[in-house]
Amino acid sequence: MSPTPVYIICSPRPQVGKTLIGRLLSEFLLLKNGGVVSFDINLKEPSLLDYLPDITETADVIDTYGKMQLMDRVIVNDGVAKVIDLGYHAFDEFFKMCDEIGLMKEALRRSVAPVILFVADSDRASVRGYGTLQSLIPPNALAVVDNEFVVRGELPPVMARSHVLRFAALPVFLKTYIDRLNFSFTGYLRQERDTSTELHQWIRRSYTTFRDLELKMMLQRS
């Protein structure tokens, strides 16, 4: 049985597109594998739970009990991919906990494969946050998400040297469209006959990016 992936989407900054990436990835994994469990650790931002209530659970890392509820579910090799949408307020506490409880080592032992997707921004908090991750996470389990809608230019050099997943900016009217709570990326792919639309191609490119990431991780493991 191959290791169960756990994708942790994070940033120390609000409004950088974590939940958008979480939605995309969750829908991609649901489409590809037929199942996914997502965890929403957002109290102060638009929430994954609002978009994907059927596959999303809420969690918090404020106290030890909340950490147990989350991590004891996540660190299980049950073949069901997990997605954690980590709110910016929980960034420091979550990774401090990961360091203290030895998440990466235990994951290896239990055949679980954490993949940290750091949603980039060019401000100092993001650079510092990424530095923290580099000291805690092996490079092959850490990737940078370049959300063009947020970064609007070059990534900070320290992030540009990492494995980067690029997501092109959508026009504002399409951004508004996909931000509707009842919008489904996979649903759009299935319903929209015209494959040449910008949104259709954007979703396909995004799914391809995730597929490439999966392949890369699989090759590294083998």
Partner 1 sequence: MFAPKAGDGDLPIAPAIGGTVQGNSMAKPVVIVVGADKGGVGKTTVSRTLLDYFSANNVPTRAFDTESPRGTLMRFHPDITEIVDMTTTSDQMKIFDTLNAASPSVTVIDVRAGLLSPALASLRDIGFLDAAKSGQITFAVFHILGPSIASLDEIAETANFMVGAKYFLVKNFINDTQFFQWDQATYNSYFHRIKDATELTIPKLNEMAYEQVEVSSVPFLKFVANKGKEDEAANYSFVLRGYVRHWLANVWSEYDRIKLTDLVGGKSTTARGEK
Q: What does the binding site for partner 1 look like in residue numbers (CB under 8 A)?
A: 3, 64-65, 67-68, 71-72, 75, 97, 99-106, 108, 113, 137-138, 140-141, 217, 220-221
SS3 205: helix
Tell me the two tokens of residue 173.
């009217």
Which tokens sit at 187?
Answer: 């649903």
Specify whether the CB–CB gap between 163 and 144 falls below 8 A: yes
Considering the complex, what minimum distance in angstroms separates the CB of residue 117 from partner 1? Answer: 14
Distance of alpha carbon 153 from its chain centroid, rounded? 21
How far apart are CB 165 and partner 1 at their closest, in Å?
Answer: 16
Q: Which is nearer to partner 1, 84 or 150 (CB)?
A: 84
The one-character DSSP state at 60 is -
Output the smallest distance, CB 218 to partner 1, in A: 8
Cβ-based nearer residue to partner 1, 25 or 199: 25
Residue 48 or 103: which CB sits closer to partner 1? Answer: 103
H/E segment holding residue 118: strand 112-119
Residue 123: CB minimum distance to partner 1, A:
28
Non-local (6+) Cβ contacts of 154 within 8 A are: 160
- For partner 1, the closer CB: 150 or 213: 213
